[in-house]
Amino acid sequence: MLPHVFTYLKENQLSSTFPHALFSPGRINIIGEHTDYTGGLVMPAAIDKGIEFYARPIEGTAMRMHAVDLNETYKLPLPIRKEKTGVLWVDYLAGIIHEFQLLGHEIPALEVIFGGNVPRGSGMSSSAALEGGMAFLLNEVVGAGISQPQLAVLCRRSSNNYIGVPTGIMDQFASLNGSADGPIRLNCKSLEFTPVLAHTPGYSWLLVNSMVTHELGSSEYPVRVRECAEALAAIRKVHPDVPCLSLATKDQLNSVAGQLNETTFRRADYVISENARVHAMETALTRSDTTAAGILLNATHAGLRDDFAVSCAEVDFLQQEAVTRFPETVMGARIMGGGFGGCTINLVQTLGIPALKKHLFSAYFNVHGQRPEFYEVNIGPGTRAI
Ligand code: GLA
């Protein structure tokens, strides 16, 4: 049990044994960015940081939910209505309850206490961990028997329909279905997934948090989703059998170049290239080819910066400093997640991490006036009872 959650339970004279206890992890993404809602491949991993949930049945007709990290309690009357409460963490949980209601389940009143160690706003998907944890809990409580891949589908529906953001399925899927054996290669169309048996002894995945959360993210993400849909529609007019943008070929894209404006063309070009990089990364990691893996990471960063346009000056700086100043240590680096801030993910020689951190800390502070945070994350299994 996380120490601060334990302290909360103790201070409130709550037993530390609950009938329902689970861990819902955050996620990283090795490669395959903005390829989930375009029907392609992604390579995320569940990590060893996440959110613990403790729950028990209570009397009455309302959920009593407590967010230990925020020290906030909320009483949510049941059944949930379609209208949001306006409190973001409550809405993430309410959306999941709402989805179970839509499936015909009657949700009993519960006390739900949760707390975690995923740094918020770091791009490690604490929101997906919240959704997945609640879905896992309700699945257990009502005995719905929904598989963990299908719980991810349910969580995505909640994000799209209840929260109202048009995300793909990567974050929720990785959190619920990650593997301790390695990152998973997930086909976001068929939902087939398999662990990638990466063999990179002596290397680590280091996240460097720019501490930037651009407001732009919330408005530009849907714009990218729309641009990708436009590109696909144009391709399908000429090639009706193309199943999704990620599976279009460069030739097919080029054949409709005249129908697309330059921006939309570049978005689509990035997506098609990125999908191919997921395959290449799998080969590189399983063959212990960290040089090839690093080149792929850098190529993804260039694509996200120049063609997909979801990076920002602060993150570009951290990526450039890492790869140009520490070429021996840093095999490659890129912006991770939806974009517009958050973390870079770096494939680094473990022994070189202290010197790299020292340099990035002072260089970033000098130029951007912010103190970056560093996380050495370990890959672990998906959501599970504890
Ligand atoms: C966010 C979304 C995901 C995915 C990534 C970009 O994390 O939630 O569905 O689209 O951005 O790869």
Over residues 35-62, the pLDDT tens digits come to 999 999 999 999 999 999 999 999 999 9
Contact 97/107 with Cβ under 8 angstroms?
yes
Concerning whether 171 is annotated as a catalytic residue, the answer is yes
- Is residue 267 scored above 90 in pLDDT? yes
Helix (H, G, I), strand (E, B) or coil at 276: helix
d(CA 154, CA 242): 26
Per annotation, catalytic residue among 36, 69, 91, 171? 171
Using a 6 Å cutoff on CB, does residue 127 contact ligand 1?
Answer: no
CATH C-level class of 3-195 = alpha beta
Biggest distance spanned by C-alpha atoms of the chain: 68
Q: Which residue reads 């963990």 in tokens?
A: 148
**8-state DSSP, 182:** B
Tokens linked to 372: 């970056």
Q: Would you place residue 216 in the very low, low, confident or very high pLDDT band (cuts 50, 70, 90)?
A: low
Over residues 194-210, the pLDDT tens digits come to 999 999 999 999 999 99
Using a 6 Å cutoff on CB, does residue 338 contact ligand 1?
Answer: yes
Lowest mean pLDDT segment, chosen from 16-20, 89-93, 294-298, 306-310:
16-20
| Average pLDDT value over all residues in the chain | 96
Q: Which atom of ligand 1 is nearest to the CA of 165?
A: 8
Using a 6 Å cutoff on CB, does residue 171 contact ligand 1?
Answer: yes
**8-state DSSP, 245:** G
Q: Would you place residue 15 in the very low, low, confident or very high pLDDT band (cuts 50, 70, 90)?
A: confident
Using a 6 Å cutoff on CB, does residue 36 contact ligand 1?
Answer: yes
Surface-to-core class of residue 320, CB atoms within 10 Å of its CB (0-12 exposed, 13-18 middle, 19+ buried): middle
Q: What are phi and psi of 75, to 5 degrees?
A: -100, 120
**How far apart, in Å, are the Cα atoms of 360 and each of 45, 214, 316?**
25, 21, 12
**How far apart, in Å, are the Cα atoms of 322 and each of 55, 140, 295, 333, 360?**
43, 44, 13, 7, 7
pLDDT for 164 equals 93
Residue 338 Cα, ligand 1 centroid: separation in angstroms?
5
Alpha helices in 21-145 (DSSP H): 88-102, 126-142
Beta-carbon count within 10 A of 332 CB: 24
pLDDT for 106 equals 97
52: phi > 0 → left, psi -120 to 50 → alpha, else beta; which? Answer: beta
Over residues 239-259, the pLDDT tens digits come to 999 999 999 999 999 999 999
Model confidence pTM above 0.95: yes
Pocket residue to mutate for ligand 1, from 127, 170, 220, most atoms within 8 A of Cβ: 170
pLDDT for 217 equals 58
Q: Which atom of ligand 1 is nearest to the CA of 42?
A: 12
Average pLDDT over residues 286-315: 98
Q: Which atom of ligand 1 is nearest to the CA of 36?
A: 10
Length in residues, the chain: 386
Residue (of 84, 83, 49) closest to 69 by Cα position: 49
Helix (H, G, I), strand (E, B) or coil at 136: helix
| Residue spans of beta strands (DSSP E) within 180-270 | 184-187, 193-195, 203-213
- Is residue 215 scored above 70 in pLDDT? no
